[in-house]
Amino acid sequence: MVKLEGYTLGEALGEGAFAVCRLGHKNDNPTQKVAVKSLMRDHPNFDPTALQHEINIMKAINHPRCIGLIEVREDDKAVHLVEELASGGELFDRIIELGHFTEKDAVHLIHQVFDGIQYLHTHGMIHRDLKPENLLMVGKEPGTDEYMQLKIADFGLSAQRSESKSDAEWNKTLQEFCGTQDYLAPEVFKIGAARNKKDPSLHYTGKVDVWSCGVIYYIMLCGYPPFWPEDDEILKMIKQITDGDYSFHSPQWDPVSEDSKNFIRACLTVEVNDRPTSIECMNHPIFKNDNLPTEPLGMLDELAKYKARFKEKAVLKGVRAMARMELLGKSMHWEVKADDPRQKEADNLFTTIDSMGDRNGSLELFEIILYMQEHYQHIFSHKDVDGQMVVDEEKLKSFASFLRDSLDRDRDGLISKEEFIKGYCIWTMNIHKAEQQSMKNLLAKDVY
């Protein structure tokens, strides 16, 4: 049980790969509720450098639309981040809970998001992982002002200009492939697939946050995402994103105003130079319109299906994992030789993973991440406090890095075709072990 001197800790608000967040209060001020996120030092994924980065970001933030850091406490077992409490849960859960959601409500909420993003951008910060799970409602009591107020959370992937010593270092930071694929701007994929990353002009900007907000607002109004092919094929999704291929054709869009549609069109502009900044977005006519529709939007059922579809997808992948585990042999040589029948299998898999990016004959980290997200999300899925299946993206990306490093013999940050084929058994063994651990957790879910 996590303890923190001077605080009383209560129920768990959430749990990640190596951190637990609990409701708490300071012993000398019981009425002021806080969230205490404890990151365990003995966990293999504990990264003091990444943690210090997140702390530096949060210390620099002081805005009502962003979760604030109250203090940092350390002991032998953990580093504890005492943060402002947003007790109302995630944005989409609140919308479903309302049972009556209007376009006026949607504008009220997305305006708060842009208010926070504008603050970050004008203070040299880019969030880089805006999604509904990182938008937390302040209050949980209907009828109070806090019930329809939100705060932006989770700054672990955020970029801060003041942390970079030079423009070149800052530009390199803005070449990193990070975020959640459904909400990623097209330029993030294009830069990730580029061969020559030494070009100083090749970097994204704070407009990636504007794109993510456009995706979120689209879902708020219709209940489903703008980019989501029927067969869930990731390459098709990426093409839809990079082409800006979405529409307002379903009946859910009939009652939505042209102001909202135009706002989405602006946010989801593929050409970066034509996409507005967050400051320009705050001046959009939608935020000055006093006559927004107040009739209920017919999207709550669609939104509930959207959330449930992710849960079903995770369960199905878990079942498929069991089948794959049965087919894996127990004996395994460490290196695939030239006459090994598995060479063709390794060759085909290499081509599949490479096709997720630039097809340049070597595997980069972002291509491995995309492959893991497409085929092995189930390994990193767990139930949240509401019983919903969620994916631990940080754990997935950490495992993808581990896979790359285990095969990257010349330590150049890439896996060549030769390295992949020779190390194919190591690759499959590591995935097999991760699936075994995931399956144990799934089978034991009823007693934990």
Domains in the chain: boundaries: 7-84, 91-298, 312-447
386 given a catalytic annotation? no
Predicted structure pTM score:
0.74
Is the model's pLDDT at 139 over the cut of 60? yes
Q: In whole angstroms, give the CA distance from residue 259 to residue 107.
A: 10
Cα distances (angstroms) measured from residue 286 to each of 95, 113, 260: 20, 14, 6
**Averaging pLDDT over each range in 14-18, 184-188, 193-197, 434-438, which range is the top one?**
184-188
The pLDDT-based confidence of 1 (bands split at 50, 70, 90) is: low
Q: What is the pLDDT of residues 364-423, one digit of tens each?
A: 999 999 999 988 888 888 766 666 678 888 889 989 998 998 898 888 889 999 999 888
pLDDT at res. 199: 72
Contacts of 166 (CB under 8 A, 6+ apart): none
Return the CATH class of domain 7-84.
alpha beta
CATH, domain range 312-447: 1.10.238.10
- Mean pLDDT, rounded, for 43-59: 89
* Dihedral sign, Cα of residue 318, residue 324, residue 326, residue 328: negative
Is the model's pLDDT at 446 over the cut of 50? no
pLDDT at res. 64: 96
Q: Which residue has the higher pLDDT, 69 or 429?
A: 69
Of the residues 93, 105, 129, 154, only one is catalytic, namely 129
Q: What is the pLDDT of residues 263-312, one digit of tens each?
A: 999 999 999 999 999 999 999 999 998 888 889 998 888 888 887 765 55
Is the model's pLDDT at 107 over the cut of 50? yes
Q: Tokens for 148, please give them.
A: 């329809």
Q: Which residue has the higher pLDDT, 342 or 188?
A: 188
**Residue 286: CA atoms inside 13 Å, Cβ hemisphere, count?**
28
Q: In whole angstroms, give the CA distance from residue 34 to residue 348.
A: 51
Is the model's pLDDT at 448 over the cut of 60? no
Q: Tokens for 232, please give them.
A: 């869930």
* Mean pLDDT, the chain, whole residue set: 85
- Mean pLDDT, rounded, for 253-268: 96
- Mean pLDDT, rounded, for 47-53: 89
To 10 degrees, what angle do helices 207-222 and 91-98 make?
A: 20
Return the CATH class of domain 91-298.
mainly alpha
**CB 23, CB 9: distance < 8 Å:** yes
The pLDDT-based confidence of 45 (bands split at 50, 70, 90) is: confident
**CB 36, CB 9: distance < 8 Å:** yes
* pLDDT > 90 in the chain, percent: 50
Q: What is the pLDDT of residues 187-233, one digit of tens each?
A: 998 888 776 667 767 899 999 999 999 999 999 999 999 998 777 67
**CB 264, CB 217: distance < 8 Å:** yes
